[in-house]
Structure 1
Amino acid sequence: MDVRVYRPGELSAADRAAWTAMQAKAHLHGTPELANPFLSPEFALAVGRVRRGVRIAVVHEDGEPAAYFPYQRSATGVGRAVGLGVSDCQGLVHRPGFTWDSRELLRACGLALWEFDHLVQGQQPFEASASGTFPSPVMDVDQGYEAYLSQLRADSPKFTRSTLAKERRLGRDAGAVRYVHDERDPEALNTLMAWKSAQYRRTGRSDRFAHEWITRLVTRLFHTRSEPFAGILSVLYADGRPVAAHFGLRTERILACWFPAYDPAFAKYSPGLVLHLRMAEAAAADGIAYLDLGRGQKEYKDSLKTREIAVSEGWVTRRHPMAVGHRARRAPVRALRNTVLSRPELFEPADRILKRMGKIRSRQS
């Protein structure tokens, strides 16, 4: 296996173009999920600007690039998916028919192990080491928005009627509703991040935007524009005031949903749901095949989805003491978290406790 490892700044324009071309043609070869924007060179390069240890392995066959494998590496050889913790799709982007030996790849990259939690489906050499597989709901709009809405009406008629009625009521009560699919005002992004931070605190979750690198990453991606990658900020306004917003990433055929939030003052109108329907309409008009809502069981995702794809988590390891130690520390935490999330009798009381703690934390801040 001919593997050459580069730092982000060392990746040539030719390699970036070849990587993008592999993604653009993925749907023609039966692997459409490889076009996910979290697997794009732009995402890996952006993470490399805000985090140390980002590397990109380029695998060559017959003198030509056959695969691109971005990862993060610690000084001790512990490897992680690029942006682990915020990345919703991970893996190796490759040309049709390419196969690889996972441990040989790790050895070439100087890794004792590689950890992932949103592995794209179809990566058998990595999937063999997965500890669990989870659904990631999607909204199919490749047949157009009206076709999507018709399916939504058939699957969830009450939900669809209620959401559309709430949008009309929002317009009557708060003023004219306006949707901007690709908002370029940085202040709108700051508003979204403030809403999201407040939501994390209110619900007792860890505030991702309290981590400077995540704020810097999102801001950098907001300003990233290439062909066909872009950071997309979508905003729902009522009488000129933002009431809901979402920041995600897009490639030619996939819009990856990432950070949605809304103004709690408008909660009774379900502005986040209204926003997602508007996003679906605009994405369909823009040639997007589907919106990936991301791994995680949420009621709104179940209401909006048309189907599910699968992502996996786990570790690929070599025979190495560092791999044994890292996995021994991480495996029990992962197992406990997944058990709680998958069992309502455990999740619901845990969720109530977190929200109670969140209310206390919000009052103190």
Structure 2
Amino acid sequence: MPTPTVTYCTVLATNYLPKALALAESLERQMGARLVVLLIDAETSTDHDLPADLPIRLLGTDFLGLDRRELLGMTTRYELVEFATAIKPVLFKRLLEETEQVFYLDPDTYVTEPMEELSGELQASEGGILLTSHFLHPLPPGAPVNEGHQVMVGIYNLGFGGWDRRAIEALDWWWERLRWECIVDALNGLFVDQKWMDIGADLFRARALRHHGYNVSVMNVHERPLAQDEKGYAIVGKDERLRLFHFHAFDPQRPELMSVRWSESPVHSLTEDSTIRALAEEYAAAVLACSEKLPPAPAYRYNHDTAGKRIPRLIRRAWRVQARAGADLPLPFLPEEAEAWKAWKRAAWKTVGRELGGDAAKGARITLVDEFVYVKERFPRLVSGVRGKMVGKSGIWG
């Protein structure tokens, strides 16, 4: 079988570029490949103040082929992470027009050895999709998290994924869901792109990569202990090597903490292990060196409207609810629509109030089960009216 053409890509805002450059350098060193970087806060490949000689292929959001108003609508209704994850299937589909395999790597991953298994594993998949789950074994007592974490965020860690042209239907299906419901919303059973792929992986026959050396992170390193040797890093007790480490919530200024998000957990002391500490220090040095090649990182341009006002999450939610219902709404990032946006925002709090009331109704439905059944039997019209006006059809309530 001929060797397929392969593209490696990532998605990020400009302020995360030092980590992406560290990834790019590791990818070039181990795979001889050039990383494709989609900047979500650049409308074109030149819409930035970055050096021209960066060792990456830079893309702006125009590469996605979406209408500009649609893109700005997404940056209005979504926070940074939500937007960055929502557009992934569109990016993968566009890249598959020019290459046979696409592998996505989160910008805070780091390639430690050649990822020689990936192409063959993707080819062996039934549906042209290759994923990694958070864990490969049942969690022992004392693990950083429990299985409930997977119930919340999804089975697969989509900081890695492989796709080929057999997956086009799956990407279209994923995009239809992420276009409006790529949100962090536990009450509605949603967690950006990951929870949807729990369904999509089964529907479209994804393959789970069982290699212990991929997407290793602070959460699963307990089941994949590392040892350093002259070649790099080996997985202890396995005939496998560390290929890709995921430095989730890692601060290169504080490499002694594997993750600032887990500083209250025993995992923050993982760097007491000399092998983990060496890897963390190697990565921190790479990120800091890349930072020196870049100008100061700008603030995410879609955090504020044209008047400099921060856009609260609740306002984004109200905009999403109204726009999805078909309303033609002003955009906060266009100067010519600034007054219309200001007027809409004042009125939007009615929608916010209704949404919060719906959240209260959902919470009552989940926690007050017997009482809900009683009220539903006694006052069916009331319950039906509350559901129709306030609960909506998002996520698990659809």
- Classify the TM-score, shorter chain: under 0.3
User: Could you state the TM-score of these two structures normalised by the residue count of structure 2?
Assistant: 0.26
Q: Could you say which structure has the larger radius of gyration?
A: 2
